[in-house]
Amino acid sequence: GMGTLIGQKQTVNGVTLTLEGALWNKDKMLLSFTIDGASIPKDVPDGFHFSRDVMQVTLAEHQRETYVRSEMEETEKLLAETRTPSTKEELDARVKEALGRGKPKLFHLPTLVRGGGKERLLVSVSILPYVEKPELTVHMESLVLYKNAEGKYWPRSYDGYEPLTLVSGPFDFTFT
């Protein structure tokens, strides 16, 4: 794996998020953000997974097509024995349609990590090596979780759970 120190800071509504760095390992990238100035209740457990909906992770516009096309070509290779390969026209049409739907959607998982007197948001992003130097944008509107009357926390809206906003953005980070 490779690691990059980034050190990008943004302060919105009194809360500072710092994108400390990115660790890269084959098809996973781990982003580390420190959170300063947020009042996250002490009883929100270390290792709490937030809903993916709290943020979007996207590739730079000029890299999206390469990524989607490579992913489709790769899939076709895997299915070559069971399926007739697409013509260039069919592939082009599928790529265009996928881009229109906002693909690639990079799967990511934000997790709260507490330790050393700091609160961090670790975001694991699945990204396949289809583009040379991926340029990523992380957009976060707000960091929300849900709490019920018994004090249990849940990542998404659920019966009897009230939303609790820990950090309200928007925050935007772009990096390579």
Tracing tokens 């660790």 back to the chain, one arrives at 23
pLDDT of residue 176: 80
Backbone angles phi, psi at 4, to 5 degrees: -130, 130
pLDDT digits (tens, 9 = 90+) for 81-104: 888 888 999 999 999 999 999 899
pLDDT of residue 83: 83
| pLDDT beneath 70: ranges in the chain | 1
What percentage of the chain's residues is helix, strand, coil (to nearest 5)? 20, 45, 35
pLDDT of residue 1: 60
**Residue 120: closest CA among 107, 108, 134, 110:** 110
pLDDT of residue 84: 86
C-alpha distance from residue 17 to each of 10, 48, 62, 133, 143 (Å)? 5, 18, 27, 24, 11
